[in-house]
Chains A and B, each alone.
Chain A
Amino acid sequence: MNYIGIDIGSTAAKVTVFNDNALVDNYALPTGWSSVETAKAIRTRLEKGGVDLSSSKVVATGYGRISVPYADKTVTEITCHGAGTTYLFGKNATVIDIGGQDTKIITLVDGKVADFVMNDKCAAGTGKFLELMSNTLGVGIEELARMALEGENIAITSMCTVFAESEVISLIGAGTKRESIARGIVNSITGRVYALLHKHGAKDPVFLTGGLCEIEPFVHLLSEKIGTPVKTNSMARYAGSIGAALIAMKI
């Protein structure tokens, strides 16, 4: 029997397929403009891969979770990231998930979400912020993070994305080294995560999920900022969809 987890986030959709207890597939596709279309595309891809949806259990999560008509159940990304982290890492952790639209901190105790916080409704401190700022600098996110390692430790002080962008533009105009600007941008994310983490009350170990976990320089700078090594896993990007698939097993 197949258990499928679908995590439709604001920038990417992640899919995980379990065959009984074995994780057989993980993949991601861009969300595009409509999560309904994304859900259709996922269905086609699943069926092409030989999955019979009528005899599978499907759990949808993420912002587009309500756009998956073939899902048996919807669960929030908080619970799914918690379940996914339990599977990938362990039952006790503080999970940081930097998503496209929001950043979440989740406290896992004995494999159960004990507490969580999310940033408020502005984009500062989220993946979207990083994406917008790297566009302004004209580089990709990976490149931005790599450059940041070599830059000076400057600060971008504007909290709001719109103002931060003009701040970046004036730094470029003033001839500040691009590496330092990159560092400032990353600092602004890690700084927000740090504040959120401490207000929330973080406990070791800290585990990073979401797309940024694949960017090693970012993980390095985040660890440095929060003062404890941030653990991650090559599959941590799929923590949400893995968690959703695991929950599907319990239906």
Chain B
Amino acid sequence: MRPIVMEEVEALRGVNSVKVKEAHEQGRKIVGMYCIFSPSEIALAADAISVSLCGTSQDPIEEAEKELPRNLCPLIKSSYGFAITDKCPYFYFSDVLLAETTCDGKKKMYELMGKLKPMHVMNLPQTANDEDSLEFWKREMVKFKGFLENQFNTKITDEKLRDAIRLMNRERNVMKRLHKLNAHKPAPLAGTDMMKAQWLKGFNVDKEAGIELIERLIAEVEDRVEKGIYAFDEKAPRILLTGTPIGVGSDKVLKALEEAGASVVAFENCTGYKGLDVMVDEDKDPITALAEKYLSTPCSCMTNNNGRLDLIRRMVDEYKVDGVVDLTWQACHTYNIESYTVKKFVQEELGLPFIQIETDYSDSDTGQVKVRVEAFLETLDSRSLV
């Protein structure tokens, strides 16, 4: 049985689409974002609502392929498909969009998307490793702030930025605590539930209510741990999932893993723990603090991206991981290429089994994904040896 609060978490999607409509009708401004490089704090400081628009469903891909190439990452096609089909209330009610120059596919797709709604594109440096990049990124923060001030005819003060930073840090903290519950062996929360809780948070209109809900989920799960109720038993292999973002609709590998008996305890991807690891410094000048935090995101768009390896190492330890699964979307060059580095690192330095699974959002390879996943789990299970 699942924690009861999970039902409330799942209902968030419906609830929030109504809330977003109401907010719009009341004249609240809505900023649609696509990436964890997006500084939501600046939107919040403009008294706007920030929502995540990252496409995780196969549905609008066919439409998107009328304008975009087929051999493009499904996340990009899905995001664009939602934009042109008006199927996503969150896109529909967004007043402005924020994009970043992350991977080439997204960057070029944004040029098309920018024709649909006012869009601001932040220029993301290609590396996080030098002072110049940080200075550059700071200026990008200021430009985005200026863009919102203009669009919404408002003034974003340092005071408001500080409030927003504190609020977002609290949200990060509560999500972080939720993730860390699964460091417990056996894991009290199914990976699919963890993913949902994290994913649905992206649509939260009312941050305070969202924080309170997760607090209650944590309390319930802690209570279950005390009573010895877990999502998996002691013997279930513990998996760390890394790689490209996932969400409801693009979670087939996660589902296949848990259906085959694994317990996905750790999510290193950007729709998991990646964005929660580092907090925004509340004592520094807000723009500097924001620039530092967001630039530190260990995404494969950055060169180099050694921070990802470091994060994997720490999470493998903390979550007592038995094997690492690297999910990459087809045609995602950055993650596909980086997978080789991650493989070497996991196998040679961490001494753990590793598998890369490359797929898309469709169901066409469900059988193959199942074989890969099951075979991988068999390699972890010494009992199946001859």
- A235 CA to B382 CA, complexed, in Å: 26
Contact B371–A79 (Cβ < 8 Å): no
Nearest B residue to A247 via CB reads B386
Contact A78–B375 (Cβ < 8 Å): yes
Taking A79-B375, A116-B355 as known contacts, 5 extra A-B pairs with beta carbons closer than 8 A to each other, sorted by chain A number, are A76-B371, A79-B378, A115-B354, A116-B379, A247-B384
Does any Cβ of B come within 8 Å of A190's Cβ? no
From B364, B375, B385, B386, give the contact of A76 (CB < 8 A). B375
Which residues of A have CB within 8 Å of B384? 75, 79, 247, 250
Does any Cβ of B come within 8 Å of A48's Cβ? no
Contact B372–A118 (Cβ < 8 Å): yes
- A78 CA to B376 CA, complexed, in Å: 9
Proximity string of chain B (239-267) to chain A, C-beta cutoff 8 Å, 1 when within and 0 when not: 00000000000000000000000000000
Secondary structure call for the B interface? helix
10 residue pairs from A and B, CB less than 8 Å apart: A79-B375, A113-B375, A113-B379, A118-B372, A120-B330, A243-B386, A247-B384, A247-B386, A249-B386, A250-B385
Most buried by A among B354, B355, B358, B374: B374
Chain B residues numbered 331-386 whose CB sits less than 8 Å from any CB in chain A? 340, 347, 353-355, 358, 364-365, 367-368, 371-372, 374-376, 378-379, 382, 384-386
Chain A residues numbered 234-251 whose CB sits less than 8 Å from any CB in chain B? 243, 246-247, 249-250
Known A-B contacts A75-B378, A112-B382; the reply to A120 vs B371 at CB < 8 A is no
Nearest A residue to B330 via CB reads A120
- A75 CA to B384 CA, complexed, in Å: 9
Nearest B residue to A116 via CB reads B375
Q: What is the count of residue pairs linking A and B with beta-carbon distances less than 8 angstroms?
A: 58
Which residues of B have CB within 8 Å of A63? 367, 371
Proximity string of chain B (174-190) to chain A, C-beta cutoff 8 Å, 1 when within and 0 when not: 00000000000000000
Which residues of A have CB within 8 Å of B355? 116
Proximity string of chain A (104-148) to chain B, C-beta cutoff 8 Å, 1 when within and 0 when not: 000000011111101011000000000000000000000000000
Which residues of B have CB within 8 Å of A86? 386
**Could you say which interface size class chain B belongs to?**
20 to 34
- A120 CA to B328 CA, complexed, in Å: 12
List the interface of chain A (C-beta within 8 A of B).
63, 75-79, 83, 86-87, 102, 111-116, 118, 120-121, 199, 243, 246-247, 249-250
- A250 CA to B386 CA, complexed, in Å: 7
- A113 CA to B355 CA, complexed, in Å: 13
Contact A102–B368 (Cβ < 8 Å): yes
B256 to chain A, nearest CB (A): 12
State the 10 A-B residue pairs at the shortest beta-carbon distance, nearest first: A78-B375, A76-B375, A83-B386, A79-B378, A121-B365, A246-B386, A113-B379, A76-B374, A76-B371, A112-B385
- A113 CA to B353 CA, complexed, in Å: 10
- A19 CA to B281 CA, complexed, in Å: 69
Contact A113–B386 (Cβ < 8 Å): no
Which residues of B have CB within 8 Å of A111? 385-386
- A87 CA to B319 CA, complexed, in Å: 37
A125 to chain B, nearest CB (A): 14
B372 to chain A, nearest CB (A): 6
Which residues of B have CB within 8 Å of A87? 386
Nearest B residue to A242 via CB reads B386
Contact B353–A115 (Cβ < 8 Å): yes
